[in-house]
Amino acid sequence: MKKGMLILLFVVAAVGLAMADLNGVPTTTNLTTDILGAHLVYGRGCIACHAPHSGPAGNAQNGINTSTGQTALWGEDLTPMYGQVLGFGDTGGYVVTLPANQAAVNALGAHDPTVVVLLCLSCHDGNLAKPGMMKGVTVESIPVFGGKAPTFLGNDGSGAGDYANDHPVGPNAIFGCGGQYNWDCTITNGKVSMNGPGSSVFANTNYTFAVSLAVVGGNPTVTCTSCHDQHSELIWVDGGSKLPYQTAFFLRGYYNPNTGGNSAAQFCRQCHGGEANEMHGQMSVPTT
């Protein structure tokens, strides 16, 4: 009997540890809404972006060349954004030239960073590309402060077509290792290894490294889907433990500013290692 109770206690303890992965942060398993969240698009679901037949024409966007659906079965009109030259971040210093036509998109492929930006902006531009169903503000409220954030990045009140106040993306937004402002990591053929004294503690103990970087010319680069998982608005699943954690705005990583803790800062530190606790010699600051 005592042996049985001991085994039971061990199992309960093991389950408790498994459900408290990121330094005791509780996992989230009780959603009552679909993980697509706002990308359900009022019930249209997957087909709002990925039309199974005829590209944009399959979403009633008629008069558009159906070849625009040849990459990722994309069901939004790409034509207004073809060939656009956009300056992101820091007074527009990170310039992205979008593919000129569908042939260029097909040649580059769906995972090319310029194609990713093109696909995302076919809904989120709001200036040249004006989707019919989006309302232009987030479904979620801004944490702590309240209110809604703009979702039309090219028409957010800062000037039509202005992306200078948006995070750098594209081939020039390169992730780096070493130096004052980066992690003590290493890069091999565009793949980041968080293997330094600080980065390894951050990635394996205090937080994680969930961002999904593209590779251009052997360099890891940031694109829209590096930080955002467009298929899950409120839940991020840890790739190691497979446990689900709360997030927001489709972000890749545990992100819950409403706790009053540091999860939002930790999310940003995945790329901005120079500002991390660990790179300041503080190895035991938990994620809360």
CA atoms within 13 A on the CB side of 56: 19
Strands (E), 139-256: 186-188, 191-193, 214-216, 219-221, 235-237, 244-246
What is the rounded end-to-end Cα distance, in angstroms, of the chain? Answer: 39
Task: Compute φ and ψ for 47, nearest 5 degrees.
Answer: -70, -10
Tell me the per-residue pLDDT of 96-143, one tens digit each, with 9 for 90 and over: 999 999 999 999 999 999 999 999 999 999 999 987 788 999 999 999
pLDDT for position 7? 39
Which amino acid is located at 75 in the chain?
G
Task: Tell me the DSSP string of 145-175.
Answer: T-S--B--TTSSSS-TT--TTS---STT-B-
Per the CB < 8 A criterion, the answer to whether 93 and 56 are in contact is: no
Which residues is 235 bridged to in the sheet?
246
Banded model confidence at residue 20, pLDDT cuts 50, 70, 90:
very low
pLDDT for position 15? 33
Single pTM value for the model = 0.89
Q: What are the residues whose beta carbons fall under 8 Å from the beta carbon of 55, sequence distance 6 or more?
A: 64, 65, 66, 67, 68, 69, 70, 73, 74, 75
Q: What are the residues whose beta carbons fall under 8 Å from the beta carbon of 42, sequence distance 6 or more?
A: 133
